[in-house]
Structure 1
Amino acid sequence: VIIYINLKMIRYENNSQAANWFVTGLTDAEGCFYVSITKNAQFKTGWKVLAFFEIHIHKKDIDLLRFVQDQLGGVGRVVPNGKNAYSFRVNSLKDVLNNIVPHFDNYPLISQKLADFLLWKKVLIKMQNGEHLTDAGIKEIVNIRATINTGLSSALKAGFPQANPVTRPLIENQSIPHEAWLSGFTSGEGSFLIRMGKSLTKIGYRIQLVFTISQHVRDEKLLKSFIDYLGCGNYRAYSNRELGDYICTNFEDIYTKIIPFFNKHPILGVKSKDFMDWVKAAEHIQNKEHLTQEGLNKTFAIKSNMNKGR
């Protein structure tokens, strides 16, 4: 595992408000609020309930998970989770109630994930009151679970055929609360790309820088809000997938708006390395170096080491 300890993390550690909003932004991108209900004969009801918080990302970003863990009071564990991935997970009811819930009450999520958090919090309150140990309480928790994330599993549908999903909270009028929220969100869902295609120019290739942030179409309004917030870009929907993009390809906007924003409000983790390489490519374009074979070769080299090539 490569360790990334850099001045950008230290900058956030010295600014608690920015660090907290960064954590919320990253959670809006990569976090999940789980309610697990499994058969267990050791419980009077026959069911065991567990509520936990998790952020799941590639193993290259294990230091980013540790940063989040530190910001949330050092609770939970950073553990391997699948091939080439790690999770930061908090499943102690005490830690969830004392550390996780207060954080997101004070620094609220703004994506549709906020609805999952609000429902999850209702389950936590029931667990705190011991209701998950009663038949009536289990049924109420199942009704809430039916509305969180992807709904009920086949086992839960079979175990609770009369389940009646609660109404999902309506999340509207989201607005970015702090610059660090967008930095955190981009650290999770953003992409810095270099497109290279053949052209009729003397050098034979054209280069285009692309900045995108992808999210489920249910957060279309949130993605569209980035256009006004950053003063550039467009929204793109996919006809064959439930996915939308905020996308910026205009070089002047990238050079004068996107790059200065993230220089001032840094991305963390491996994606920050991609951003720094992307900025190098932008400087080549700004200085017209990409119009020479030598400059083109430099850009090729930068591109090959970015993203999955890193």
Structure 2
Amino acid sequence: MYYYEISSIKSLVYVINHFEKYPLQTTKYVHYKLWCQVMDIIEKKEHLSLSGFYKVLSIKSVFPKGLSHGILEVYSKNFIPIIKPVFEPSNTLLDHNWIAGFIQADGTFGLNYTKVPKMKLGFTCQPQFRITQHERDLIVLKRIIKSIGCGIVVKPGDDRDRYSISVANISDLINIVIPLFEKNSIYGAKNLDFLDFCKGVHIMKNKGHLTLEGLNELKNLAYGMNTYRKF
């Protein structure tokens, strides 16, 4: 696995400028603004003082992963109260380029090849476009549905704090989802999955999944995508 990382303080200014111009649309915005507070402390050299150091620790403590138990034991008595920035979600339609970028990280194009004994050939394949988010960002899933014009929100399980957008209708996939990402490109391995997904959807549109040859082609596509893909 590879990571894209920026750690130079000078370069991070460009990151801040970018997200001030193009604001984050999920609750990640809250932690971005807290991170900006730390950047401001560092820029002013306040982190070199004990009070500045405690302030940085205090901010880090309210992040999702927080601080280690050991650090909390030593420094928690010196923490100062931190007020989290307020995230006020918008209800406006999302730009399709933004959606493509979001899918690049959090979307999945899948061909679910499964055994179904009652089917004539014993197997079937169900294409599905899916986006999953923590329940705190349910509103952005609803905004995506409204912006692209298809999909339903599903909860994978009662014991989970996640929600997903699911699009499995062939007509919606052919007429909305596929044209959306043909016009607003995604890149890398996700694009390879998208291209295989398109092949699978078109096989099913043409009833190829009802033949042994078509079903085998779908199987090969399904077991060469996503986590099955080898490089």
Match for residue 183 of structure 2? 264
SS of 2:223's equivalent?
helix
**Offset at residue 203 of structure 1 (A):** 3.2
**Alpha-carbon separation, structure 2, partners of 1:167 and 1:281:** 49
Question: Does 2:102 match 1:185?
Answer: yes
The structure whose residues are more often strand, as a share, is: 1
Match for residue 86 of structure 2? 170
Match for residue 290 of structure 1? 209
SS of 2:186's equivalent?
coil
Q: Which runs of 4+ in 1 moved over 4 A?
A: none
Tell me the TM-score normalised to structure 1 length.
0.68
Superposed CA RMSD in Å reads 1.7
**Offset at residue 154 of structure 1 (A):** 1.6
**Offset at residue 177 of structure 1 (A):** 4.2
**Offset at residue 176 of structure 1 (A):** 5.4
Aligned partner of 2:192: which letter? K
Per-residue Cα deviation, 1:167-212 (whole angstroms, up to 9, x for no partner): 2222232355421111111111111111233153433333211111
- Indicate conservation of the 8 Å contact 1:211/1:248, yes or no: yes
SS of 1:193's equivalent?
strand
Residue of structure 2 aligned with 1:137, choices 36, 45, 52? 52
**Alpha-carbon separation, structure 2, partners of 1:165 and 1:268:** 42
Q: Mean alpha-carbon deviation: is it higher for 115-124 or for 196-205? A: 196-205
Tell me the TM-score normalised to structure 2 length.
0.90
Match for residue 68 of structure 1? none
Question: Does 2:219 match 1:300?
Answer: yes
- Gapped regions of structure 1 (runs ≥ 5): 1-84
Question: Does 2:117 match 1:202?
Answer: no
- Gapped regions of structure 2 (runs ≥ 5): none
- Indicate conservation of the 8 Å contact 2:203/2:209, yes or no: yes
User: For residues 1-310 of structure 1, what are the structure 2 equivalents within 5 Å?
Assistant: 85-97=1-13, 99-162=14-77, 163-174=79-90, 175=92, 177-197=94-114, 198=116, 200-237=118-155, 238-310=157-229
Identity of aligned residues (%): 31
Pairs aligned (count): 225
SS of 2:120's equivalent?
coil
